[in-house]
Amino acid sequence: MDQTTKPRLLDQVRERCRVKHYSIRTEKRYVDWIRRFILFHDKRHPARMGAREVEAFLTHLAVNRNVAPSTQNQALAAILFLYKEVLEIEFPWLDGVTRAKKPPRLPVVLTPAEVRGVLVQLDGVHHLVASLLYGSGLRLMEAIRLRVKDVDFARLEVTVRDGKGGKDRRTMLPGSLVEPLERQRDKVRILHEQDRRDEIAPVYLPYALARKYPNAGRELGWQYLFPARRLSRDPRSGVVRRHHLNEKSFQRAIKQAVRAAGLSKPASSHTLRHSFATHLLENGYDIRTVQELLGHQDVRTTQIYTHVLNRGGHAVRSPLDVAGC
């Protein structure tokens, strides 16, 4: 290809996502939304469009497609990324966009007995991951992306690297998980030694660490704590290596466990994190402490759990109970 020829637009989006250290999941979503935006306007180049076309597309999503607010916000983020980071065009605030309104929703929370009922239906790695979601308040992707070095057994701490918002944080490691996780670490060590004998490519390292520390990917500490059973091809580099546990297989296991436990609540893997926060508040822990453990930037995000505390309508006693009927 002629060196003066610019890459195709979507390839420029992918390249810019990688420069900004965006995850492969975000990259794929942004590329998909930008493609849909272009197709909606009959394949016109975005450089020849403006705020009016963006408003029309987002309004179409809200009015005609009836998408969830989070979906429309994701589409908007992708388009703004295209104009700001790739095309280098500043956009005025899009006042004309019809936003999909987000109705107030309380998080689904399980009781401690219900949590036990779900966990008992799981085994092996799935049980360990679910226990970390509830016991440490981790998000699903934070748990399955843990490296061996991120668990400090002596200090009973779990370090979350590059969590939501690109921030690191520390949270608690339940004492009951020390022995199971030490056994899991030993399994990882055996698997890692076998992979090295088989000359499997080193584990994926984020950002430029692979260039800065070329041997780090072969060290035990950098291996995923919950590795996949099978090798897979890296979608960016094409290298065949061992990745982490597939999140979709875990979500299926949780769905089956909730069903087997006989729960009628629409519980998911994230419900365990909601339950972690609510149960800490019920046990009298300070909301700022819970905020820090969850990694919330704003305490108002954490405050939503105060609305689902097990206190019978904000600790108000029903007149039916007072009357003894």
Statement to judge: residues 218 and 177 lie in one domain: yes
- Distance from C-alpha of 93 to C-alpha of 51, rounded to nearest angstrom: 9
Q: Which residues are catalytic?
A: 139, 164, 270, 273, 296, 305
Q: Are the beta carbons of 210 and 216 closer than 8 angstroms?
A: yes
User: Quick check: is 95 in a domain?
Assistant: no
User: Quick check: is 66 in a domain?
Assistant: yes
User: Quick check: is 324 in a domain?
Assistant: no
- Which CATH number is 22's domain given? 1.10.150.130
- Distance from C-alpha of 200 to C-alpha of 179, rounded to nearest angstrom: 29
Statement to judge: residues 50 and 167 lie in one domain: no
- Distance from C-alpha of 78 to C-alpha of 18, rounded to nearest angstrom: 14
Average pLDDT per block of 10 residues along the chain, 325 residues long: 68 91 89 96 92 89 86 91 89 61 80 96 97 96 96 95 81 95 97 96 82 87 96 90 95 97 95 94 90 90 79 52 56
Statement to judge: residues 278 and 229 lie in one domain: yes
Domain extent at residue 56: 9-86
> Could you tell me whether strands 227-233 and 151-152 are parallel, antiparallel, or unpaired per DSSP bridges?
unpaired
Statement to judge: residues 244 and 160 lie in one domain: yes
- Distance from C-alpha of 245 to C-alpha of 299, rounded to nearest angstrom: 31
* Counted domains in the chain: 2
User: Quick check: is 105 in a domain?
Assistant: no
Chain centroid to CA 154: 27
Q: What are phi and psi of 231, to 5 degrees?
A: -75, 155
Statement to judge: residues 40 and 164 lie in one domain: no
Statement to judge: residues 129 and 258 lie in one domain: yes
Judge if pTM exceeds 0.85: no
- Which CATH number is 198's domain given? 1.10.443.10
Q: What is the structure's pLDDT at 313?
A: 46
Statement to judge: residues 165 and 241 lie in one domain: yes
Tokens of 286: 């300070």
Tokens of 157: 């701490």
Q: What is the structure's pLDDT at 264?
A: 94
User: Quick check: is 325 in a domain?
Assistant: no
SS3 for 242?
strand
SS3 for 224?
strand
User: Quick check: is 99 in a domain?
Assistant: no
Statement to judge: residues 82 and 119 lie in one domain: no
Statement to judge: residues 137 and 228 lie in one domain: yes
Statement to judge: residues 170 and 228 lie in one domain: yes
User: Quick check: is 144 in a domain?
Assistant: yes
Statement to judge: residues 120 and 255 lie in one domain: yes
Instruction: Please choose, from the candidates 4, 245, 257, the residue with its C-alpha nearest in 3D space to the C-alpha of residue 143.
Output: 245
Secondary structure of 53-121 as H, E, C letters: HHHHHHHHHHHCCCCCHHHHHHHHHHHHHHHHHHCCCCCCCCCCCCCCCCCCCCCCCCCHHHHHHHHCC
Tokens of 36: 């849909």
* C-alpha torsion angle, residues 162, 165, 168, 173 (rounded to 10): -90
Statement to judge: residues 154 and 79 lie in one domain: no
User: Quick check: is 20 in a domain?
Assistant: yes
